């Protein structure tokens, strides 16, 4: 038994393809979203559907824009699966993607300035160039109960 979601997720609709945004899927199941460091559009752009437990957006505003002060209201949420966001500050990382059944699908290179949201399925990484990254994920962390480790691919 794996610890990842298998539900089908409806991707946000766009009027045009956005080459700086990659959606990694397996049989209509969203595994990951990669936002290139080159993404540069004014306004607010959400890359995740509203019902996903981790939301990912890009925001670009001009000098002087006011974002009204606010607090977030207490809202009961039920989260079953850990989803994580990696922000690559420096270096280069190969991300390997796996199905729910731990079968290898594909790999992508993630570089400084890129952001990746890991939603479902399995994943592993190899550092290509010394990397510095920030990880954001739901808590609380429950140690080894939080994940199932398995043998992945080995690339030279």
Average pLDDT of the segment spanning 119-147: 92
Q: Is residue 134 part of a domain?
A: yes
Q: Is the pTM of this model over 0.75?
A: yes
Statement: residue 7 has pLDDT above 50:
no
Tokens 């752009």 found at: 45
Q: Is residue 106 part of a domain?
A: yes
Q: Is residue 12 part of a domain?
A: no
Q: Is residue 11 part of a domain?
A: no
Q: Is residue 126 part of a domain?
A: yes
**Least-confidence region, from 18-27, 86-95, 110-119, 135-144:** 135-144
Q: Please give the residue that has the higher pLDDT: either 145 or 95.
A: 95
Spatial separation of the C-alpha atoms in residues 29 and 103, rounded to whole Å: 14
What is the domain range of residue 46?
A: 21-61+75-145
The structural domain count of the chain equals 1
Q: Please write the tens of the pLDDT for every residue from 38-54.
A: 999 999 999 998 888 89
Q: Is residue 27 part of a domain?
A: yes
Q: Is residue 135 part of a domain?
A: yes
Mean pLDDT for the chain overall = 88
Spatial separation of the C-alpha atoms in residues 139 and 53, rounded to whole Å: 12
């Amino acid at each position: 038994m794996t610890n990842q979601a298998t539900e089908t997720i409806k991707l946000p609709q766009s009027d045009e393809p956005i080459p700086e945004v990659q959606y990694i899927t397996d049989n209509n199941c969203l595994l990951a979203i990669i936002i290139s460091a080159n993404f540069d559009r004014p306004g607010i752009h959400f890359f995740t559907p509203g019902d996903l437990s981790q939301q990912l957006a890009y925001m670009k505003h001009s000098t002087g824009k006011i974002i009204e002060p606010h607090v977030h209201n207490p809202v009961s949420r039920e989260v079953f699966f850990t989803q994580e966001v990696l922000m690559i500050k420096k270096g280069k990382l190969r991300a390997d993607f796996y199905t729910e059944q731990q079968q290898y699908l594909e790999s992508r290179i993630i570089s400084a300035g890129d952001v990746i949201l890991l939603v479902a399925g399995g994943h592993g990484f190899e550092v290509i160039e010394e990397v510095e990254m920030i990880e954001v994920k739901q808590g609380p962390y429950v140690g080894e109960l939080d994940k199932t480790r398995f043998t992945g691919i080995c690339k030279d």
